[in-house]
Amino acid sequence: MSADTRFQEAATALGYSFDGELKVGGNYVPLMRDGTTLYVSGQVPRVGSTVVVTGRVGAEVVLVDAQVAAKVCAMRALALLQRELGSLENLRQVLRVTVYTQCTADFTHHSEVADGASELLHAVLGEAGKHTRTSVGVYQLPKNASVELDLIASSRL
């Protein structure tokens, strides 16, 4: 089964579509390519024009919902990579992922939030989805998003 098929299956499992425009919130590009290295700007869990998971993790957002938010962020990043490369089969490797969690002062499960994204990347891309990672707790994120993710990948092209 191709990575593109697994991407569609993951979207269906999440209950969201990542077709159509992926909105950005400012004067920047969502993806920058330098040779075979691809840099994906921070992605919040936005589907269409709605940020689907908002609020502070550890207060109004529970861990499982934060993990879903991380998966949606990863799906947005994959959608951008798929559009740039024509197919996720042209992605050589996800190199680095950073996951930011808007959380309470006593929340310490940042890595578990990031696991949602890491598990999704591996499920869709297989070995090419394995990556280095940093997970960080922050006080605020754009649009009150619970999670934001950026990544760096390399392509076969």
- Whether 52 has a pLDDT exceeding 80, the answer reads yes
**Mean pLDDT score of the chain:** 97
- DSSP secondary structure string, 49-115? TEESSBS-BTTTB-HHHHHHHHHHHHHHHHHHHHHHHSSGGGEEEEEEEEEEEEB-TT---HHHHHH
What pLDDT score was predicted for residue 57?
A: 98
Report whether 51 contacts 44 (CB < 8 A).
yes
Report whether 102 contacts 122 (CB < 8 A).
no
Per-residue pLDDT averaged across 142-153, rounded?
98
Choose between 20 and 70: higher pLDDT.
Answer: 70
Longest alpha-carbon distance in the chain: 44
Query: How do residues 28-50 score in pLDDT, each as one tens digit?
Result: 999 999 999 999 999 999 999 99
What pLDDT score was predicted for residue 24?
A: 81
What pLDDT score was predicted for residue 29?
A: 96
What pLDDT score was predicted for residue 21?
A: 86
What pLDDT score was predicted for residue 135?
A: 98
Query: How do residues 88-132 score in pLDDT, each as one tens digit?
Result: 999 999 999 999 999 999 999 999 999 999 999 999 999 999 999
